[in-house]
Amino acid sequence: MSALQTLPSQLGRVQLSGFSRGFQGKNVLDAIDLDIPSGQFVALLGESGCGKTTLLRALAGLDAHAQSAGVARVQGNVSVLFQDSRLLPWLSVIDNLTLGLTYGQATAAAQALMNDVGLGDKAQAWPATLSGGQKQRAALARSLLREPHVLLADEPLGALDALTRMRMHLLLRRLVERVRPTVILVTHNVDESLLLADRILVLKDGKIAQDHALDLPHPRRPDHPAFMQLRSTLLGSLGVETAIT
């Protein structure tokens, strides 16, 4: 992955220019041009296999063996939030959060973040004793502890039950508004993208098929006319016209 010269005013900016990525001679991403300014919350929608995770992994600097062309640039520190928490079972929760960081100041910051995500009393707990939602809250705290300029989130809420997912929506939005990283969230959930994002991209056949800016205040209401109209458009683009309400 190429890198631009990092300038303070550009930290968090994500740019792709004619970027393609493939495996075994088959392109998954096809000549994508994209510019995401610093601090924007972007949701990435698309059917399974359209290249969403491939794009995220490219921006994270993973899959170095893949065949790539064009330029992908991410300015600043990057943190990745995966579909599962990936907590190491032999470490306490707080040791998972601070792994690889300097002890002391990082521990104090980790405890403060654990308080923010409602896990203040779980610092010395083992990951196996946490619920799925608690594990994902710990993973979110771990990602934000690195003070990322760009947070790449690959369906981190997909395995949660509906109520826990709603609570995570509120928590994620609150913490993102405070920390202000650029966020790219891969999701299959249209309503989730509408509730959280400033901008929604639809990926189809390896290309950006739709690009929607959202100018709706938070917290958002699903019964708002603009919310309902864009929901209809997005569902239609994903081939779910009959589910429109």
| pLDDT over 70 (residue 243) | no
Confidence band of 9 (pLDDT split at 50, 70, 90):
low
Confidence band of 44 (pLDDT split at 50, 70, 90):
very high
The pLDDT, as a whole number, for residue 174 is: 86
Which one is predicted more confidently, 214 or 159? 214
| pLDDT over 60 (residue 3) | no
The pLDDT, as a whole number, for residue 159 is: 76
Neighbours of 78 (CB within 10 A): 20
